[in-house]
Amino acid sequence: MSTATQWWRGGVIYQIYPRSLADSNGDGIGDLEGIRESLEYVARLGVDGIWISPFFPSPMKDFGYDVAAYCDVDPMFGTLADFDNLVAEAHRLGLAVMIDQVLSHSSDAHAWFEASRQDRTNPKADWYVWADAQPDGSPPNNWQSVFGGPAWQWDTRRCQYYLHNFLPSQPDLNHHNPEVRQSLCDAMRFWLDRGVDGFRLDAINFAFHDTQLRNNPPLSADPYADGEPPDSPYGFQDHTYDKSRPEMPTLLRELRQLADAYGDICLLAEIGDDSHRSRDLMAEYTGGNDKLHMGYSFDLLGEDGSPRHIRRMVEGVEAAIDDGYPCWSIGNHDVPRVVTRWGGDAKPEDVAPVYAALLLTLRGGLCFYQGDELALPESELTFDQLQDPVGITMWPRNKGRDGCRTPVPWRADDPGAGFTTGTPWLPIPDAHRERAVDRQAQRPDAPMERIRRLIHWRRHHPALMHGSLTFLDAPDGALLLRRDHDDERIAAAFNLSAQPVRIPWTTGHLPTPLTGHGLGGEVAGDTIVLAPYDAFFGRL
């Protein structure tokens, strides 16, 4: 397959959290028709495709990541006909469509689990991970769930424990059973037949577990090294046996074989592990051209947005990945908004364009979270406004994920901010109304317009789309790198600090400034000069 047809390679993917993009029927919850009606806006940004978070039937205990049926649409989001219309409109606008697939676990309301839990001999008895209690009645081993507490839940029907790496209502599927893998492939085929262009595979490295159920060892590092313990007991363990198991390539090759049968389909997987291990897994899972197309990196989704950290994370992936391929993101539905997480006290409008420019300069696929183009800060919610089980359980130290999931503001002065004619499922703060789409569309200097120009400008530079990446030394607060592809060589410099930065150029000819991107860095003598939160692009 040629690079020209691989839409995802160097592509920009706009992540849509369906509850919060646009509500078409006034019930306060975003839906598929609302997404369809918003696609003109998304296409105008210049992105290559969209990724839609889960919209399948679900009890919504984890807001769609607890799937109760893999081949349908939850009525709150619409119908299969609505989905078909969405896909048709996206393709008309030149947008590829990716959808989430949650393969490691299902909802406990799924018919498969309801059958599996009835007894130990039914046809689906081993479709989930069941184990006997220890002699004293305690769970089979020491595995912990990501959301806190033991990863085992007792079930009185079978008088056994079942494994759940997340909520107790999200039992883990047993991927050691080939019937399970085949059924999940059949579900993906259902959506491929409806025209999707790819899948984002949620928590994929949780798919397999150690069949001997060996205890995880404690972390070799001190969990109190930062002065406080982790939020959850999950953080005390080295997760050797409950995820990232050596059987994973078996599943990934099966999924790739399915995808290849449909042509230009992208498999992008979330690979959640510690930084060093996740890089190795990304290389393993995307290498060899027979498994994933891209691995979704978590390395830039933490609190540290310093140039030193960013360089260390990106160089670590570049060194590890060999012939594999990364996908970068600086924001999603699970972490605080990037302008708050990295920007601190800086004005969101000041930092959003330079963060976007940095993301758009990295090598790989790029995921851009809805609302980040508006420079939306993290929403501050009170406890009684929370919906997310993580925040409700771990408040106040961990406020959960609702702060980045509040609805997109379309029209500042509408009661529902143009998102809904009803009451939004999460409140829309005044700080978001001020940054509504209608207000930013009137100002060429608004973050939305500046980021839109950046995305379109990048398309004209193959080095930024497909080139190799090399970091160069830069003063504190700044990043300097180059991208090389055939005859095009581009230097890019970023000032991520509130102070002006001067970067001496010591490696050959001074770069010739490129224009059209809307950022203000310039050359003075043999120095690149950057204002606070600014960037420079130059041709070498």
Distance CA 346, CA 145 (A): 36
- Sign of CA pseudo-dihedral 321, 313, 365, 468: negative
Distance CA 359, CA 496 (A): 13
Distance CA 345, CA 340 (A): 8
Task: List the beta bridge partners of residue 529.
Answer: 502, 522
Can you read off the two tokens belonging to residue 69? 């049926």
Among the options 31, 82, 100, 270, which is catalytic? 270
**β-strand 488-495 against 534-539: which pairing, if any?**
antiparallel
Q: Which residue has the tokens 């939004």?
A: 424
Which of 124, 234, 103, 119 has the alpha carbon at shortest distance from 170?
103
Continuous segment of H or E residues that includes residue 41: helix 32-44
Please check whether residue 474 is in contact with residue 491, taking contact to mean a CB–CB distance below 8 angstroms. Answer: no
Residue 21, Cβ density class (10 Å: 0-12 exposed, 13-18 middle, ≥19 buried): buried
Residue 475, Cβ density class (10 Å: 0-12 exposed, 13-18 middle, ≥19 buried): middle
Distance CA 337, CA 340 (A): 6
Furthest C-alpha separation in the chain: 78
Reply yes or no on whether 202 is catalytic: yes
Q: How many C-beta atoms lie closer than 10 Å to residue 487's C-beta?
A: 7
Contacts 24+ apart (CB under 8 A), 78-83: 78/31, 78/32, 78/33, 79/32, 80/194, 82/31, 82/32, 82/33, 82/36, 83/32, 83/55, 83/194
Please check whether residue 459 is in contact with residue 465, taking contact to mean a CB–CB distance below 8 angstroms. Answer: yes
Among the options 202, 242, 373, 378, which is catalytic? 202
The helix/strand count (H/E) of the chain reads as: 15, 19
Query: H-type helices in 459-521, by residue range?
Result: 462-466
Q: Where are the beta strands (DSSP E) in 10-110?
A: 12-16, 49-52, 96-101
Q: Which residue has the tokens 């992008």?
A: 268
Q: How many C-beta atoms lie closer than 10 Å to residue 311's C-beta?
A: 17
Q: Which residue has the tokens 């994933």?
A: 292
SS3 assignment, position 429:
coil
- Termini Cα distance of the chain: 31
How many residues are listed for the chain in this entry?
Answer: 540
- Residues annotated as catalytic are 202, 270
